[in-house]
Amino acid sequence: MTSGETNHYRKLALRASPSERAQQAAEELTDRADWVSMEEADAVVVLGGDGFMLHILHQMLHENRVIPAYGLNLGTVGFLMNRYHSSRSPVQKISRARSIAVAPLLMTAVTQSGEEHQFFAINEVSLLRETRQTAKIEVLVNGKPRIAELACDGVLLATPAGSTAYNLSANGPILPLDSKMLALTPISPFRPRRWRGAILPDRSKVSFRIREPEKRPVAAVADQREIRDIAEVHLEICRDRALTLLFDPGHSLDERIVTEQFIV
């Protein structure tokens, strides 16, 4: 949406996290709109923090009905949310919001027993050692081996939307939302000692294969979903399941990503 345009969302749903603050805000907003169910709505107002927003987004992906989501922060970080003001109607604010498309990662994980699992990840997919033993992981990009054996606590692949989450804590790069890049970041790498990760085009297909899995078991986590004892993981952007986040002017995800890089 360009400056000066307005959104025309006629049917809004309201979803609130179980937290006391979010539930109180939901009560305050009850009479401020003719709220409808998620099935009827053409946009949803989400009250809570980033975790609850991810829960709602994943719910929409699972049900294969994706509508724009406008978050109001009643949690802690609120990176995916807008500021909440009890005196302002979200109906008026959402009409002026900017839309940002966010394409999730599709993870296909194969376990040591041969079972295959598929999950979406909006922030990142991380591989983590399950025991005290260092994980040993082969890293492939577009089918080509790039690191034969990464000895580490783990490794992750983050989207631009997730680059300021776990990826940032692991000293990975912050990616602008429109960068069309992915951050491949090791977690406490031991060898190769000098490898600190890579920035890849988001058209890349990234795979991980686990070395010595019986001695060094590894789990894969797609946002909040975990699969243990994996043999290999394949990742790629799923463009046909893109999500839409709505942000107030001046408080878009782009601006937050830029701001985060100047926090000292």
pLDDT tens for each residue of 179-188: 899 999 999 9
What is the band of 133 on the pLDDT scale with cuts at 50, 70, 90? very high
**Which long-range contacts link 168-173 to residues 24+ away (Cβ below 8 Å)?**
168/260, 171/196, 172/197, 173/197, 173/199
Catalytic sites, residue numbers = 50
The Cα–Cα gap between 15 and 44 comes to: 7
| Domains contained in the chain, CATH given | 12-103+242-260 (3.40.50.10330), 105-240 (2.60.200.30)
Task: Report how far residue 199's alpha carbon sits from residue 257's, in angstroms, rounded to the nearest whole number.
Answer: 16
pTM beyond 0.75, yes or no: yes
Mean pLDDT of 5-21: 87
pLDDT of residue 76: 81
φ and ψ at 71, to 5 degrees? -95, 140
Contact 42, 29 (CB under 8 A): no
pLDDT at 129 over 50: yes
Between 118 and 5, the more confident residue is: 118
Query: Is residue 34 annotated as involved in ligand binding?
Result: no
80 known member of a binding site: no
Q: Is 64 annotated as a binding residue?
A: no
Residue 15 has pLDDT above 50, yes or no: yes
168 is in an annotated binding site: yes
Confidence of residue 5 (pLDDT cuts 50, 70, 90): low
Q: Is the pLDDT of residue 158 over 90?
A: yes
Whether 174 has a pLDDT exceeding 60, the answer reads yes
**Res 257 pLDDT > 90:** no
Is 71 labeled as ligand-binding?
no
Residue 165, annotated as binding a ligand? yes
pLDDT in tens, 30-47: 888 899 999 999 999 999
